[in-house]
Structure formats: C-alpha cells, structure tokens
Amino acid sequence: MGLIRQETVGFLRWLSGQWTKKSEGVSVVRNSKAVLFDNNPGRNAQTVGIARELGTDIDLIHEPSVGVVGNKGDSQCYLGVQRKVEAIQECLRQKIGGGGEQMRMRLVQPEYTVATSDGMRNGTREMRYSLIGREVTHDTVCEHLSASGLEGTIAVVACDKPPVGTLSALLEHDRPSIIMSDGPIRPGTDSVTKERIDIITGFQVAGSDDEEMKKRVACEACPGYGSCGGMFTYNTMQTFIAVVGMEPLHMVSPPSDDLRRMEQFPNELVTHLEKLIELDLTPRDIVNRDSIRNAMIVSMAVGGSTNVLLHGPEIARAAGFGNFAEDIMSFEEFNYLSEHVVPVLIDARPFGIYSMVDIDKKGGIQVIVKELLEAGLLNGDTLTCTGETLAKQVARLDPNGPDGEVIYTVENPYKPTGGLRVLGGNLSPEFSAVLKLAGVEGGLENNIFRGKARVFNSESALLETLEKQPEVFENNDMVIVRYEGPSGAPGMPEMLDSTSRITTLCREKNIVVGLMTDARFSGGSVGLVIGHVGPEAALGGPLALVEDGDEIIVDLNTNELNCTEISDPGTLNTRKSSWERVVADNGGTHPSIGIVDSRLLNRMRRTAVSAVFGAGMHPDRVLWVKNLREPVKTDFVPTNKYRAGSGRVF
C-alpha cells in the first residue's frame, strides 16, 4: 500500500482495492480487515443468535458492524462506565434497522477493557502495572475492533491510561469513531474543617500522626463515583482528547453522575457517529499535526499533568507519526511556547483550588478553548468528531467568557507562563526530563535550583526513609529515585505517594526538597519534581552514575538538568566503568532493577521504548508505527496577541 493519505474529507479511500460503497441511508466503507459474514451456517449461527438476543434485525448480519466499548477497573473511576455504555448501546439499537432513516448496520455487544487503580496502588509494587494498563487497553481494544471489523465505534473512557490506550487503538483501526469521557468525581468535604478535599488530600496527609483525621479524610475525600476531579492526568488527557478532536468539547467537564451523560449525550454521540460514517471521516483524518499541537498547547494552558509528555507521543505514534519531536513539536518549540506564549488559565487542583466540576459550572473546557482561539494560540481549522472544525464547534456551543475566578483570560491569566517544561543537560541527554512548573512551590532562585543529591535505588527505599527517618532530609536536597523507569521497574510507576510525603515534609519544616526520577508522577503531584529522566538508569543512563552529595543544578533559563561531578570526563568514565562491572557481575542487569514475576512485566522489561517515544511496549525496543505518514505542515503559528512578537516559527 505505502500511500500517504490526504488529510481531507470526501475523497475516495483506497482500502485493499475496495472503494466506498453507498448503502441505503448511510455511506459505508468496506474495510478489507472487517469480518463480513458470508452464508457459512457455522459463522451465521452465532451471528444470528447475537442479533436475536440484542433485538436487532437478522437480515442485517452481513452489514458492517457498529458497537460500544468501555473502560473498567477496580476503582471509583470506572463505576459509572457500564451504565453509560448500556445507554449508548440502547440508542444504537433503536437507530439500527432496515428503514430509510435508519442505520443499516450490524450491532455488536459491548466490550470492556480492564485496568488497575492508580490511587489504590501508588507507593506499592503493583503500581508497576499502571502505565502497562495503557498498553493492555490498547491491545484489548485493538483485538476487539479488528476481530469484530467495527466500522463505527463509540468509546466511554475513564481514569487516565485506558483512554489513551483506547484512542491509540481507534487511530490504528482508523474507522469512524468517537469518544466520551465518563466524567470526573465530585470533590468531598471535610466534616470538621468544611474544606474541600479529594484523593490528593489523602496522600498529602499520609505522613500525619493524627490518625482520626487520616481516617476522616479517607472516608470523605471521594464521595460518589467518577475519575479524579482536579487537573490531574485524567482531566488533562480528557481535555487533550477533546481538543485533538476525538471527543465533543462539552462532554469533558460534567461530573460522572451528571444526568446529561445518561439522558442527552448518548443520542448526540450516535448522531455524530452516523455523520462520521456518512462522511467517511476517520480518526486519522481528525488527529493530525495541527490538532495534536493544539492539544499540547491546551495542556500547557491548564497546567496539565507531566504524563501528557508520555501520552502525547503515544497518540502521535498511533496516528502514524514516527517521531514526536521531529513531526509534531520540537522540545525547543515546546519550551518556547511554555515560557513565552502560553499562560495558565485555570485555578485548579493540585496547584490551585478548584476542580473540573467548578470548570463545568463556569461553562466547561469550551470556555478555555474559545479564549485560546480568540487569542491566536490554536488553529481553529482542524477537524473534530462532530464533523465541524474546532472553531465551528466552539461557535455552535457559544460558551461564556472566562469568569476571572476559576477560568482566567489570556490577557490576565492565572499564571503568566505555561505549566510544563522539558529539560536536557548531562542528566537528560535524551531531552526527556519533564517538570510541572505550575506545581513548583519554591526552591527556584532566578529560575535556578542548586542542591545536593540524596540517592535511592528504589521508591520503596525512599518511602521507608520518609516514614522512619524524615529528619535526614535537609534544605535543598535533590532526591534521586532510579531504576524505576519503563524497563527498570519495570512499568515506570508514578510516585504520588513519595511526592505527597515530600510536599508535606517541606511545608512542615519550611524547607525545599526536590525529587528527580526516571519514573513518572501523578498529575496530582506538586513540588520541584522532575520525571522521565532518560536514558533510564537500568539502561545505563547518567542517572545511574550520580552519587550522594553530588551537586545537582536545575536551570530553567537554559532548560538543563546537570550533575556537576559527571560533567568531568574523568569522573564520568570512572563511574561508568564501575557501573558496567556491577552489571557484568550480575549477568547483564543491575541488581537494583525491579523483580519480574509475570509475563506482562517481562514483556515491559524487554520491549519498553524511551519516554520520549511514549514508554510503550514495542518489539526489540523499536517504535512500531502502522502506515507511517508524513506530517502536513500548515501556515498556522501559535501566537499570543497580547504579547508582541510571540509568533515564532520553528
């Protein structure tokens, strides 16, 4: 095949020698990979049986398939998914039939993915499965889409890794699809202090001696159901998915228990899907270079999670782009936009006060998108799953302007600079290290941190020290946690437990303690925390060579992360030789890497690619891309009209 597809709608698609076919009422593409059942009675037996049990016309069993998928797991994040999937399934069932206004399609039964709970597993060995859950979700959805030959899919997504895995599978399958967020959880209220609390509150009080208070917070922090409510990774990625075009903007912010998600949105989703099928508008038509760039800019503007620097490249890969930095946005441009062009527009947890529920009350993320569009920061011509451009979707929704308390204007923002920064230097030669600047609470003098290394070869060792010897931590310590990267852990766990305890320690002792790791962080983490440092220690990256007491310099003027001692070639070579001897004596791996006790963990250890490519699992650590495409560059340059000369071309 090897064809570079045009990024327009309405052209004839080349699919293994088969062309667009018009059916009655709906335009359908006969995908060569679709399972189009013939008259074999063996295959038909179950196909007829499913149609009968689902209440659909058995005469439609040879038509292209349509269905619903949902994310499920063992936390409150997923409790509302099934009822929404069932509501959408019923809307589809009513819409499908042989009439002129109906969809002539075969309805398949809903399918669900599985995932672990980040909140319950943070700080434990089981947290290794968190990022892996993105990969498992991708594989599960991919198998379902491909084996079922789905020509139209609606996905209900929850938590933060499964939505990315779901979108990645939809992009690779590349048939008309649309996503709906299950929705955020409402915040809790402390019955004594009357303050708003959430799951992050629970982690931040973990080190307290007040057992009664800790129990109270545990019981009151997460009422109801839904995914984490602050601008943590879940809401960062839901906003990303909507801005990239795969989810209607107004479906992001309402809470999970909002009646709109059961009574209004299902019909809208089915209507949109029907239009996508009619236009033959697929995820790769929607998700292109400019739409991904839009989504990254909005992630900066909401002070989003550092995990977007893992998930953004994975989404780009699934969309057909082989190198995020080269094809989508260089790290130099990313930092320029964050430093000079894109402000933070919301006062939201974990760095602020409010939650996504409050953003919804003020009009939803469409308010933010409209404000960024009008300021010149987003390309409004990108296509979306509603069949409209981003600008036209916002115009139709017609949101109010920012309220100035929860959502701010670009002219008078909550914070003048974007929330994320990517760092290079001798500790991060891959230019992979990421800092959530919006969450930094102190430690920077003239944009520089200078301190000494305090090294731990596992997160468990750090947590034990924080629990039993908190007094050993001193002002301007830079905690190093290594051998917790994609291959080392394996699984690249997030360190919400560690960062929360360090934050509490710093506030109590009025000191600054940073944390640097080849692992990653929760979107709820705050403080001077730097993740994704690469190459990771398990693969011989410079982080493996740092020793206790080394000088660590974080310079945000140059966007570098350096260790003074290993800048000396002699010291570097001596330490590297010593590390290599330890590895050789241990049979080829460092003794500090994590234990592999399942086939899935072993797969991650042997196949994980670098964080700059999304830290996913790929054969032989070589990034796999289906139908590689060239990025189509437009003339659009992100510009802040309130900052003269901000529109710089890279």
Residues serving a catalytic function are: 522
Extract the tokens encoding 570: 């002699």
The CB density around residue 322, as the number of other CB atoms within 10 Å, is: 16
The Cα 181–Cα 226 span in angstroms is: 10
Q: Where are the alpha helices (DSSP H) in 356-417?
A: 356-361, 365-375, 390-397
Element housing 156 (H / E): strand 150-157
To 5 degrees, how large is the angle CA 58–CA 64–CA 66?
A: 90
For the chain, the straight-line distance linking the first and the last C-alpha, in angstroms and rounded, comes to 32
DSSP 237-257: HHHHHHHTTSS-GGGSSS-TT
Extract the tokens encoding 224: 């109801």
The Cα 449–Cα 530 span in angstroms is: 12
Are the beta carbons of 448 and 554 closer than 8 angstroms?
yes
Are the beta carbons of 314 and 164 closer than 8 angstroms?
yes
Taking each helix axis as running N to C, give the angle between helix 308-318 and helix 233-243, from 0 to 180 degrees, rounded to the nearest 10: 30
The Cα 500–Cα 123 span in angstroms is: 11
Q: Where are the alpha helices (DSSP H) in 549-643?
A: 569-585, 599-607
Are the beta carbons of 491 and 132 closer than 8 angstroms?
yes
The Cα 182–Cα 80 span in angstroms is: 7
Query: Do the strands 106-107 and 111-115 form a parallel or antiparallel pair, or are they unpaired?
Result: unpaired
- Region of residue 15 (left: phi > 0; alpha: psi -120 to 50; beta: else): beta
The Cα 593–Cα 601 span in angstroms is: 12
Taking each helix axis as running N to C, give the angle between helix 233-243 and helix 289-301, from 0 to 180 degrees, rounded to the nearest 10: 140
Extract the tokens encoding 534: 């690469």
- What beta strand segments (E) does 74-186 contain? 106-107, 111-115, 150-157, 177-181
Please report how many Cα atoms fall inside a 13 Å half-sphere around the Cα of residue 445, on the Cβ side.
6
Residue 161's φ and ψ, nearest 5 degrees, are -80, -45
The Cα 432–Cα 40 span in angstroms is: 53
